[in-house]
Amino acid sequence: MFLSVVVPCYNEEDVVEEFYTVVSKIIEENDKFTKHEFVFIDDGSKDKTLEIIKNLREKDESVRFVSFSRNFGKEAGIYAGLKESRGELVVLIDADLQHPPEIMGEMAEKIINENYDSVGAVRENRDGEGKIRSFLSRTFYKFINSISDTQIVENSTDYRMMSRQFVNSVLDLSEYNRFTKGIFCWVGFNNAEIKYKNIERKSGNSKWSFNKLFKYSIEGIVSFSTFPLVLSSFLGILCFVVSFVMLILYFMKFIIFGEVVKGFPTLICSMFFLGGIQLLCIGILGQYLSRSYLEVKNRPIYIPKETSEELNKYK
């Protein structure tokens, strides 16, 4: 089988060569892979990543690459890599050797012999990660799975081997705001999972700051569920019912006991409460609207500056 190895890279000069050596060896030793190619996506790296990839290309024709005009993010890198890939099997893997390449054989086995269309790697543990982070991540999966029709496997990673048919289906979803983890589940097919033990990064730093992760989870929720919109309608109805009941109560009090309701604090509190809910709902609406806005603009997901086939096309 012809295997494409898709690798998004952003400032990975420390590991990219080692990655290539380790993975090539594993692929060459496995007789299931009769032919292979590497598709490196240089996501606007500011270090020597692209240079190293070009050197690899000079030595080895099976190395192909696309270099972006700037940093477009990993999701764009994944899209570009899948689009460029030509193999019957495609494996998506990180450059930092955190995804064990040893299980590629097992993944291919499942697709070839057991009729699966894709095999995802799932982290068994979250060692080397803070407690708060793990907790938030667990909460995120619980939340998104309870409000979305698409069920996302907890602790799933982007490390995945796919059949050509599966890849083509993923590429059919050409949306601008890409939440790949959700897309992999959304397309359906027969999916298997392989568990592996989390390995700490070989070198360099994780590009995921807390901020980025937060944005990423909002992206996931907005991309795969319209529940927040339902929630805002629900809050509206709730406020209406409560205030209506209060109105009747106060009115009765006035009619029966002749009591004029005092209460400056009540007024202020309810005003702020309502104001808060209104802003929250506008915010939720805004999240969806801004995404629709970006989709409608129909901008390309990435801009290539250079590819292995067309070097310096625009120079």
Contact residues: ligand UDP, CB under 6 A: 8-10, 12, 43, 71, 73-74, 77, 94-96, 98, 206-208
Cα dihedral 222→70→205→14 (10° resolution): 140
Residue 251 contact partner, candidates Mg ion, ligand UDP, none, CB within 5 to 8 A by sort of partner: none
* Dihedral sign computed on CA atoms, order 181, 171, 207, 205: positive
User: Which tokens go with 92?
Assistant: 């998506």
Q: Kindly state the smallest distance separating residue 302's Cβ from Mg ion, in Å.
A: 20
Q: Kindly state the smallest distance separating residue 140's Cβ from Mg ion, in Å.
A: 18
Which of 180, 232 has the CB closer to ligand UDP?
180
Residue 74 contact partner, candidates Mg ion, ligand UDP, none, CB within 5 to 8 A by sort of partner: ligand UDP
Which of 115, 205 has the CB closer to ligand UDP?
205
Contact indicator for 206, 12 with CB cutoff of 8 Å: no
Helix (H, G, I), strand (E, B) or coil at 311: coil
Which of 34, 205 has the CB closer to Mg ion?
205
DSSP state letter for 239: H
Q: Kindly state the smallest distance separating residue 128's Cβ from Mg ion, in Å.
A: 10
Q: Kindly state the smallest distance separating residue 212's Cβ from ligand UDP, in Å.
A: 9
Which of 94, 109 has the CB closer to Mg ion?
94
Task: State which of positions 66-105 bind Mg ion (CB under 5 A).
Answer: 94, 96, 98
Q: Kindly state the smallest distance separating residue 202's Cβ from Mg ion, in Å.
A: 9
Residue 54 contact partner, candidates ligand UDP, Mg ion, none, CB within 5 to 8 A by sort of partner: none
Q: Kindly state the smallest distance separating residue 23's Cβ from ligand UDP, in Å.
A: 12
Which of 37, 109 has the CB closer to ligand UDP?
37
Distance CA 314, CA 310 (A): 9
Residue 64 contact partner, candidates ligand UDP, Mg ion, none, CB within 5 to 8 A by sort of partner: none
Q: Cβ contacts of residue 116 below 8 Å, gap of 6+? A: 110, 190, 191, 192
- Residue 158 binds to Mg ion (criterion: CB under 5 A): no
Distance CA 304, CA 80 (A): 9
**Which residue stretches of 30-66 are H helix?**
49-59
Cα dist. 304→58, 87, 294 in Å?
20, 21, 20
Q: Which residue has the tokens 């938030």?
A: 136
DSSP 168-225: HHHHH---SS--HHHHHHHT-S-EEEEEE-----SSS--S--HHHHHHHHHHHHHHH-
Residue 71 contact partner, candidates Mg ion, ligand UDP, none, CB within 5 to 8 A by sort of partner: ligand UDP
Q: Kindly state the smallest distance separating residue 77's Cβ from ligand UDP, in Å.
A: 4
Residues in the interface with Mg ion (CB under 5 A) total 3
Residue 305 contact partner, candidates ligand UDP, Mg ion, none, CB within 5 to 8 A by sort of partner: none
Helix (H, G, I), strand (E, B) or coil at 302: coil
Which of 200, 309 has the CB closer to Mg ion?
200
Q: Kindly state the smallest distance separating residue 181's Cβ from ligand UDP, in Å.
A: 11
Closest CA to 160 of 229, 225, 108: 108
Which of 13, 117 has the CB closer to ligand UDP?
13
Q: Which residues of 13-25 are buried (b: 16+ CB within 10 A; e: fewer)?
A: bbbbeebbebbbe
Which of 197, 297 has the CB closer to Mg ion?
197
Q: Which residues bind Mg ion (CB under 5 A)?
A: 94, 96, 98
